[in-house]
Chains A and B, each alone.
Chain A
Amino acid sequence: MSEQLVTLSRKDFVSDQEVRWCPGCGDYAILAAVQKVMPEFQVPREKTVFVSGIGCSSRFPYYMNTYGFHTIHGRAPAVATGIKLANPELDVWVATGDGDGLSIGGNHLMHALRRNVDLKILLFNNRIYGLTKGQYSPTSVLGQKTKSTPFGVVDHPMSPVAFALGANARFVARTIDVLTTKHMPDMLRRTHDHKGASFLEIFQNCNVFNDGAFDYFVEKDVAADRQLFLEHGKPMVFGAKRDKGLRLKPGKLELEVVQLGDNGVTEADVLVHDETNLPLAFLLGQLEPPEFPIALGVLYCNPAPTYERMVHDQVNATREKLGAGDLDKLFRAGNTWKVG
């Protein structure tokens, strides 16, 4: 019996497997948010597949009561591409991390985004390798002391959202594991509803190996001044008193923070967010506190035909043109000769 018409609840998405993340890990909040929003999508559980690679985040599929595939390090986007190509009807999610998705699996992530395979990709960014017990990752910051960098990281980090945009992703968004009540669920909804590759970076606290990595924009006393919540068509205003805004520096392709009220600056001078504007998304993706707020929400959304759809359209068009494949005809095409 298909579950198409059955109303599902959060509990229906909880698997019977014991969750094995460290107590206090940000992953719990993400799992809870995903399990909370899944019933809203009205997708039968059997049509949902969670795919992951290796790492703490990649344990995710075991905890979802859907179909799931815990693959090998970095390869989840490739496996997920095969799953989606073989059955485009499936709702395919990828759970990955900064090491899995951006280091060993950077190539696959880049190409899944570029091809626009209809995958919902959640990248848990904790700026550390957790499962291998604390080495630095491609998003670890300069100077960060880790097990493999006792004197501090000396390689430059990357921005996951800028990477995704550079790979031609059509949906790029960002949220934080602590924004459990509204923002993270909203972003999960948007990520799901977008047709095509959707990329959601979730800042996730690893309380064991990189505790407080995001405190500089998450702590209560700084959060309001260092978080900008993007909304399509709305001015980019932020701050505890909603008195700060972003605008283009006159004569430059560069953003600057302005104080509303100072020197006659009003909300009308502030940039209005446009989800379909790629250069703007790039600028927003690069903003780093404390000089700028961190940009949260949907940085970019600009749907395009999906890869698996085009692949199957081509298969169907060829069938229509040539008729369904016939082995006898295939073998006999071209030069043949008869003996006896």
Chain B
Amino acid sequence: MDHVESTTSKVTGKLPTEEIDSVVIRFAGDSGDGMQLTGTQFTQATALQGNDLATFPDFPAEIRAPAGTTFGVSAFQIQFASFDVLTPGDAPDALVAMNPAALRVHLKDLPRGGLLIVNSGAFTPGNLKKAGYETNPIEDGSLDGYRLVSVDISKATLAATQPFGLSQKEALRCKNMWTLGLAFWLYDRDRQSTIDGLRKQFAKRPEIADANIAALNAGHAYGETIELPSGMSRLIVPKAKYEPGLYRNTTGNEATAWGLIAGCQSAGIPMMLGSYPITPASDILHYLSALKHFGVVTFQAEDEIAAICAAIGASFSGSLGVTTTSGPGMALKTEAMGLAVVTELPLVIVDIQRGGPSTGLPTKTEQSDLLQAVVGRNADTPLAVLAAATPGDCFTLAIEAVRIATKYMTPVILLTDGYLANGAEPWRIPEASALPKFPVHLRTEAAGFHPFLRDPDTLGRAWAVPGTPELLHRIGGLEKDYDSGNISYDAANHHKMTKTRAAKIAGIARDIPLQTVHEGEDSGDMLVVSWGSTYGAVLQGVRNARRRGLKVSHAHVRYMSPFPRNLGEVLSRFKKILVPEMNNGQLVKLLRAEYLAPAEGFNKISGQPFRVSEIESKIRETLEA
């Protein structure tokens, strides 16, 4: 990591502290060890401390995988820094391994010399065997190259929680808080937000809150007495320079839910969410179900098809129908999307992409639904597609999706992915009054009305909803006559309607921002084009390459259909175009097809986000080729 450069050692008390620009820490343990909670608490405290950050929760698909096994390992990585953080970091500077399986899975990512904290109490013969260790790595010298801190966290936790009369099982559950306490001490984080959180969470069982807080404090106190391995010191990461404002952490799913609500307020219409539980989209259903006081109606449907169909019904009735899903659910909703396209109803479909095909890798991230979103329906069935770049961008683009859907009377697909959905970043809280406003005008005027009467500018059709006197009409999946909206099987009319539907979507390009090159020169040897959640890694990779003197620029696309109207022109200004994607090459195909651009793909399909270093070396390789 090249930003871990500036260090100024100083001594406070008996231990040296060191100022450092950025730290990447990974907590790993068994699914039952509470690593996600440890991670989110650490994130919270870090945000409050004023660092910029990005996180990467990585958990298994099984709810309760057999304890101690490698496939039951759950991890949470966070990068926090005094500068603008774009990714959760390539490799951890510090790894916490709560059991042998976690060590087995994650040690390979820890650079030699990195800080390694292990819970020796979990390194029992049984656990070692389950993780495939013949001898105990803590004792056999195989960890010599790392700065090892071996503590029996289980025992220390039992001792700390002993006064509270918990069962052994309950007491052991507090060991993630002990670990968190130690991490807080090492990186100088404040414990108060966690303590407040525990008090709130366990308000009904104060003894559990007390035990967890005691474990947290004990872990922190342990730091005071610890003998750090040689060369290690307590690390201080100064505050990042943010734009002034009020901040909070948000995940992509939370931001999406809020953006949808905000968008509907901006449009001045109620929201109806039809959804069916699916990883990693379910949290949006959970969030919105709890926000009924915003007038949101949520409907957990019997299946993905009913979810989108109910949303379409709601849009027909004058609400904004929204449906949230992931790849397999997208496949099921396809036919209904066609209905929304042909009936020209507003609809927002959020696809939290995950690894596929089929059930694939439900908890891992991927960008492989782009082609499905843009063209994956029977017949010529165009609609608008947006893709969020960061967790915070999910908020902005959810609002934009509502704007486009209601203004153009079209379904809009918002693509995010598992990485954005669960990853957190600090988000500058907007003033609700400053959000864009785009009130919907429902048709009430009878004179000259027919249901497919179009706005000459947007080509959006008139939206007249049941309950409106004198505008009685019928719509459906059959082709309509351009001039009356009645059923029509006329050949020339179908040609015209197909062209009109395409022109309507293409016309949205006049109403969205132009494509910018936001890093590097506007023309030159090479442009790296990214979309979706690879934004941070690609931008950082380009920045690093430029710092090393390479001539390369970066453009990030958020509007996938239609593309920004100058995108082809931007591409044409570069000799080489590299398109990194977490799929087997989808945007690259669209760019080549649309613009005959000499775009080359760079693909990673491992369920894991790109590392900055991977981008950087691919840039070098492509430039040298």
Contacts and interface: CB of A to CB of B under 8 A. Distances in A.
B313 A79 contact: yes
Interface in A77-131: 78-87, 89-90, 107-108, 110-111
B261 A331 contact: no
A336 interface: yes
Interface stretch (B148-156, B212-220, B241-249, B493-501): B241-249
B44 to A, nearest CB: 6
Contact of B466 (A17, A72, A83, A323): A83
Contacts of B292: 314-315, 318-319
A172 B398 CA distance: 43
Contacts of A2: 469
Report, as a range, how many residues of chain A touch the other chain: 35 or more
A22 interface: no
Given A86-B270, A332-B246, A1 B469 contact: yes
Contact of B306 (A69, A108, A323, A340): A108
Contacts of B297: 85-86, 311-312, 315
Interface stretch (B5-13, B58-66, B424-432, B546-554): B424-432
Interface in B239-294: 242-249, 258, 261-262, 265, 270, 272, 274, 291-294
Contacts of B339: 71-72
A339 B314 contact: no
Contact of B472 (A66, A318, A326): A66
A220 interface: no
Contacts of B468: 46
B305 interface: yes
A90 B317 CA distance: 9
A75 to B, nearest CB: 4
Interface in A277-336: 311-312, 314-315, 318-319, 321-328, 330-332, 334-336
Contacts of A340: 242-245
Interface string A193-236: 00000000000000000000000000000000000000000000
B466 A90 contact: yes
Contacts of A46: 466-472
Interface residues of B, number: 71
A62 interface: yes
Contact of A332 (B293, B305, B313, B429): B429
Best-surrounded residue of B317, B468, B486 (most CB of chain A within 10 A): B317
Interface in A43-71: 44-51, 54, 61-62, 64-71
A151 interface: no
B328 to A, nearest CB: 16
B474 A83 contact: no
Given A325-B294, A335-B249, A85 B314 contact: yes
B247 to A, nearest CB: 5
Given A51-B313, A72-B336, A337-B246, A82 B475 contact: no
Contacts of B486: 17
Given A46-B469, A90-B467, A323-B293, A108 B302 contact: yes
Interface in A1-29: 1-3, 15, 17
A64 B476 CA distance: 14
Interface in B423-481: 429-432, 435, 465-478
Given A72-B336, A81-B313, A339-B50, A87 B466 contact: yes
B167 interface: no
Interface in B206-247: 242-247
A326 B432 CA distance: 9
Most buried by A among B193, B302, B315: B302
A63 to B, nearest CB: 9
B475 A81 contact: no
A48 B473 CA distance: 11
B418 interface: no
B318 A85 contact: no
Given A86-B272, A331-B429, A339-B50, A78 B301 contact: yes
Contacts of A90: 317, 466-467
Contacts, number: 218
A76 to B, nearest CB: 8
B482 interface: no
Contacts of B316: 69, 79, 82-83, 86
A51 B472 CA distance: 14
B38 to A, nearest CB: 16
A82 B317 contact: yes
Contact of A85 (B295, B310, B343, B435): B310
Given A49-B466, A85-B299, A75 B246 contact: no
A81 B306 contact: yes
Contacts of A17: 474, 486-487
A337 B310 contact: no
A215 to B, nearest CB: 33
A82 B321 contact: yes
Given A318-B292, A337-B50, A69 B474 contact: yes
B309 A325 contact: no
A127 B310 CA distance: 28
Contacts of B291: 325, 330
Nearest to B291: A325
B313 A69 contact: yes
A252 interface: no
B614 interface: no
21 contacts: A17-B486, A49-B466, A68-B476, A70-B475, A72-B336, A72-B339, A78-B302, A78-B306, A79-B310, A85-B310, A90-B317, A108-B306, A311-B297, A315-B296, A318-B292, A319-B292, A319-B295, A321-B293, A327-B261, A330-B261, A339-B245
Leading 5 A-B pairs by shortest Cβ distance? A82-B313, A340-B244, A70-B476, A325-B294, A82-B310
Given A79-B309, A324-B294, 12 more contacts: A46-B471, A62-B474, A71-B309, A75-B336, A81-B310, A85-B272, A85-B297, A315-B293, A325-B293, A337-B47, A338-B246, A340-B245
